Amino acid sequence: MTRPSFSARAAAFGTALLSLAALTACASAPAPGASAAPAADANTYTWWDPYPQHDASSAWAKRVDTCGQQAGVTIKRTAYDTTALTNQALLAGQEGNAPDVILLDNPAVSTLADAGMLATMDEFGLDTARFDKNLIAAGELDGKTYGIPIGANTLALYYNKKILDAAGVDPASIKDWASLGAALKKVKAAGKKPITFAAIGTEEGSFQFLPWFWGAGGKLTELDSPQAAEALGLWNSWLKDGLAPNSVLSNSQNTTWEEFLTGEFGFAENGTWQINSAAKAGFPTGIVQIPAKDGGVAPTPTGGEFITVPVQKDAKRYTATKKIVECMTTPEGLVETGTTFAYYIPSTAEGQQAILAKEPSLKPWVEAVRSAKGRTSDNLGTKYPKISEALWTAVQKALSGSAAPADALKDAQAKAAQAVGG
Amino acid sequence: MAFTRTDAVATTGRPAAKVSPAPGRRRSGRWTALAFLAPLVVYLLVFYAYPLYRNIELSVHDYTPRAFVQGDPEFTGLDNYRAVLSDDAFLAALRNTAVFTLVSIALQYALGLALAVFFQRGFRLSAVLRAMFLVPWLLPLIVSASTWSWMLNSDNGIVNAFLRAFGIGQINWLTSPGTALLSVTVANIWLGIPFNLVILYAGLQNIPASLYEAAGLDGANAWQRFWRITFPLLRPVSAITLLLGLIYTLKVVDIIWIMTRGGPADASATLAIWSYREAFGTGQPDFSPAAAVGNLLILIAFAAGLLHVRLQRKEGSS
């Protein structure tokens, strides 16, 4: 007959069920033997970084090679994307075959340091005092430093000069929230879209919200403060008044930038990494610092990678590793990294002077980086990711209209407090 | 649990293998048989049993990143499950999962069946058209999900542009709590139709044409032919299609993740999205609660499967 037999049905069911089991399991468990093998060769050093866009023939890859040659070893470089890198690093740490060097996104440093995977810079005898305090803070946990920033980037407001001129807005007049609001209204009156930013429900959403949050005087340990509510109220009012598009709720920073490049938007909140793209835009652009609520420059969150050294079983390897780290972090090395990427601001005062001598137009970015603040600073460390998740959820709730800003933040504080253990 | 299902596949999958070897046969024969079986057994153990075991192990420990690396997680028993079940987000996620899954499979099935019956008539170009209906299946998910999210974009999406032409104001498909779940469900239905179409179309080929001829002689109209012949004879195929649809839909992460990230806030977060977000969506992987949610999903699918087998058995005996 046409009916499949009972056993065939049971088999189909069993197979389907097992495939579901396998899928959910591989979403959380490492497949055995999946991590990269350690370099057995004493002269080959492994290096992981989050720059898959730079392939083996890129200037960045050559720079890494050169540092290896100077240390007398060969570097084998592997690139992952940012989130995958943290997971890969945790897996490698579990298997006991971590690479010699990892370039880590700064909020991940405290996570791996807390896992006991990273060597401190003290153990290496590397001097960390010459690095900007606000930048290296993201690599500190309980008074120890676990990495060195190879550069930093941060956020500012890019503007479309053509639109601002047409609307009669002088970018220099933007000093606080009130003057920014007035500028946005003028742009709207001139028939253009005033501003775009990224309020997506991921770390990027929190990253973009923090300048406003900190600029109002908010603290990450107290998400339900009146200051925090003011910052969220500001974003909320932009959406309500039609100053920002509703799609900011699903915009990543890249999407936001694409929107800005259409030439329809007056302002876009975006980062140092878009400098080259802004220069190539079909209209003249400029930047202003993100203003704090009552004037002055708001602290912006730092982005950028730290060079870290995972703990190795064979301590002899550290000698060459130290040379590699030094090569990447000398003032000349920092400037070279900065120019290789075209978006990195060096993390020492000396390096910043040197890059300004080469590229004077980076001045506002150097200033922005100097006033920037690490997300995991204030010894938040591994608590930050939990707090950040609560924060971006609150932003999403408020902007989508499912809760008032103050209520959304109250929930967020309760959730964050619970997640970090009271 | 894994082992019993594995055994079920291995033994009931091939009832003919029950023939016992002749007594007195040399031992080496048995070893040869085992050797032939070994690759399958190893495969099942490594790729099915171990991940399942590992998933359960993760869910009954407290795997912080530190414990994960050091390999010294604290045993917490059912605490993760308790925390998940008592979380405010759980009921919302369960409700979203139920709506997403049930609406998806119901409409996928109905539309798939309608198309299958339509194409069975074998008119001109029907093969070409049928092939075109398979396109959603062939496209990489990242492409189709991104396309859907562009089309449904609040400000620049083609759907809103179309509605504007009729004087309907902007609808924030993906960014308003009222419509986000609906939008991802619609996209998922579109994705699932080809699967239902193919399976049900194949099922239709097995219904003897003579039945239709006889019904035609008796004067049954098209409607009666469908409800009296096609639908009842298709029931076993329908049941397995719906069951597979349920299991596939329960574990959907990619399309929702690409379109809304489970947002705004948690408006379109299903259990699978919740699990994925705990493990990979934040800066700090939280494998234990993620595994707990994943295991709950397996239980739900398992229960649905048992129900299916039971219903089939009842029908078989009656």
The per-residue pLDDT for B312 is 84
Handedness of CA A135, A138, A139, A140 (dihedral sign): positive
pLDDT by residue for chain B (318 residues), tens only, comes to 333 443 444 444 444 444 555 555 567 788 999 999 999 999 999 999 999 999 999 999 998 888 888 888 889 889 899 989 998 889 999 999 999 999 999 999 999 999 999 988 878 888 888 888 888 888 999 999 999 999 999 888 899 999 999 988 888 999 899 899 999 999 999 999 999 999 999 999 999 989 989 998 998 888 898 999 999 999 999 999 999 999 999 989 999 999 999 878 889 999 999 999 988 888 788 889 999 999 999 999 999 999 988 988 887 776
Residue B88: which CATH number? 1.10.3720.10
Task: Please tell me the pTM assigned to this model.
Answer: 0.82
Query: pLDDT tens for residues A220-278?
Result: 999 999 999 999 999 999 999 999 999 999 888 988 999 999 999 999 999 988 888 89
B102, part of any domain: yes
B49, part of any domain: no
A44-149+303-370 and A155-301+379-419, same CATH topology: yes
* Alpha carbon of B250: minimum distance to chain A alpha carbons (Å): 9
Which contacts of B9-15 are long-range, i.e. CB under 8 A and separated by 24 or more positions? Answer: B9/A11, B9/A14, B9/A15, B9/A18, B10/B40, B10/B44, B12/A7, B12/A10, B12/A11, B13/A7, B13/A8, B13/A11, B15/A7
Asked if A297 and A371 count as a contact pair (C-beta separation under 8 A), the reply is yes
The per-residue pLDDT for A344 is 83
Nearest residue in B to A24, CA atom: B294
Question: Shortest CB distance from B264 goes to which of A93, A245, A402?
Answer: A402
Residue of A250, A253, A264, A306 to mutate for B, most B C-beta atoms under 10 A: A250
Rounded to whole angstroms, the Cα distance separating B94 from B45 reads 31
In chain A, what residues touch B253 (CB-CB under 8 Å)?
27
* CATH superfamily of this structure's domain A44-149+303-370: Periplasmic binding protein-like II (3.40.190.10)
Range of B151's domain?
79-317
Q: Helices H, strands E: what count in chain A?
A: 17, 11
> What is the Cβ-side half-sphere exposure of residue B212, based on CA atoms within 13 angstroms?
15
Nearest residue in B to A391, CA atom: B265
Question: Across the interface, do B66 and A83 touch by the CB < 8 Å criterion?
Answer: no
Domain coordinates of chain A in residue numbers?
A: 44-149+303-370, 155-301+379-419
How many interface pairs between A and B have CB atoms less than 8 angstroms apart? 215
Residues 80-109 on A with a CB inside 8 Å of B are 83, 86-87, 90, 93-94, 107-108
**Beta pairing partners, B153:** none
B245, part of any domain: yes
Question: Across the interface, do B287 and A246 touch by the CB < 8 Å criterion?
Answer: no
* Alpha carbon of B64: minimum distance to chain A alpha carbons (Å): 8
Question: Across the interface, do A250 and B48 touch by the CB < 8 Å criterion?
Answer: no
Options 3.30.230.70, 3.40.640.10, 3.40.190.10, 3.50.50.60; CATH for A155-301+379-419 is: 3.40.190.10
> What is the Cβ-side half-sphere exposure of residue A199, based on CA atoms within 13 angstroms?
30
Question: Across the interface, do A2 and B247 touch by the CB < 8 Å criterion?
Answer: no
- Total domains in the fold of chain B: 1
Place of tokens 């070409």: B128
B138, part of any domain: yes
Assembly ipTM? 0.79
DSSP letter (8 states) at residue B281: I
The per-residue pLDDT for B151 is 93
In chain B, what residues touch A115 (CB-CB under 8 Å)?
65-66, 68-70
Question: Across the interface, do B65 and A16 touch by the CB < 8 Å criterion?
Answer: no
Question: Across the interface, do A29 and B156 touch by the CB < 8 Å criterion?
Answer: no
Which contacts of A35-40 are long-range, i.e. CB under 8 A and separated by 24 or more positions? Answer: A35/A88, A35/A91, A35/A92, A35/A95, A35/A97, A36/A78, A36/A88, A36/A92, A36/A97, A36/A99, A37/A97, A38/A97, A38/A98, A38/A99, A39/A76, A39/A100
The secondary structure of A249-316 as a DSSP string is: GG--HHHHHHHHHTT-EEEEEEEGGGHHHHHTSSS-EEEEPPBPTTSSBPP-B-B-EEEE-B--S-GG
